[in-house]
Amino acid sequence: MSAEASKRHQWQWENATAGAAAGFATVAVMHPLDVVRTRFQVNDGRVSHLPSYKNTAHAVFTIARSEGLRGLYAGFLPGVLGSTISWGLYFFFYDKAKQRYARNREGKLSPGLHLASAAEAGGLVSLCTNPVWLVKTRLQLQTPLHQTRPYSGIYDAFKTILREEGFRAFYKGIVPSLFLNSVDYAVLGATSKLAAILLTYPFQVQLSVPSFKVMRARLQQRPSGDGVPRYMDTWHVVKETARFEGIRGYYRGITANLLKNAPASSITFIVYENVLKLLKPTTRND
């Protein structure tokens, strides 16, 4: 392996490691708002096992009072696992894609190719992590009112889903997830400066594609006791949401989403940049 190739390989793993650390830190701090967002997104007014919340603050206090810290951190393990893997894989795939596009361009990439690299990385990340996000969503939706036997943890959830619904169930919500992740990461990759990312990313993405987050969450719900899913596919979610809730249904959880993602973006990139600085001297001195 040449010196240049070795250096490039080290840089890829520096990015992956820093991204994984950033993902872990973000989930650890912001997970309660993620629980609130998920419960708002799936609450179409016809779900009996979900309590009604007036707003984000009321949801946080209600969950804390009735379910304790465990409720606020429901699905934390798959959340940490998914976020850590996602950010680690994203920066790895993103760097790989940029290298491939830059081979015949003297190392220079246009903004469009940066965007394409980021979108490609986002799609690959989604394919790799969808099973983890599905389990996280289901654990977050378990409440004391739940009628079906609850999953006892992440391992039990994976095992039960595989036994009761088959492997295909792990890819419920993959269509909106592929689009959502590609757009999320494309916006991220097209923004070159940290300050610009922190100012524009949460609002551009969360206001432009909230419906995809709602669709993904609703598709990933656990089937009822008779094994019939509440929503069959993406188009079914679109029709039923429009029919019973109107345009407002597509924006459920938007407040919790914005409250979560603005500071989450800051945490992610502050941790990412600092871990990267710590790793650079170490790898360069090897």
Dihedral-angle region of residue 246 (phi above 0 means left; psi in -120 to 50 means alpha; beta otherwise) = left
Q: What is the pLDDT of residues 210-256, one digit of tens each?
A: 577 888 888 888 887 677 788 888 889 889 888 888 888 877 887 88
Answer positive or negative: Cα dihedral of 173, 198, 275, 185: positive
The predicted structure's pLDDT at residue 181 = 66
pLDDT band at 204 (very low <50, low <70, confident <90, very high): very low
| Domains of the chain with bracketed CATH | 3-285 (1.50.40.10)
What is the C-alpha to C-alpha distance for residues 257 and 191, in angstroms, rounded to an integer? Answer: 21
Q: How confident is the model at residue 120 (pLDDT cuts 50, 70, 90)?
A: confident
Mean pLDDT value across residues 121-137: 92
Return the exposure string of 129-139: e unless at least 16 CB atoms fall within 10 Å of the residue's CB, then b.
bbbbbbbbbbb
Full-model pTM: 0.78
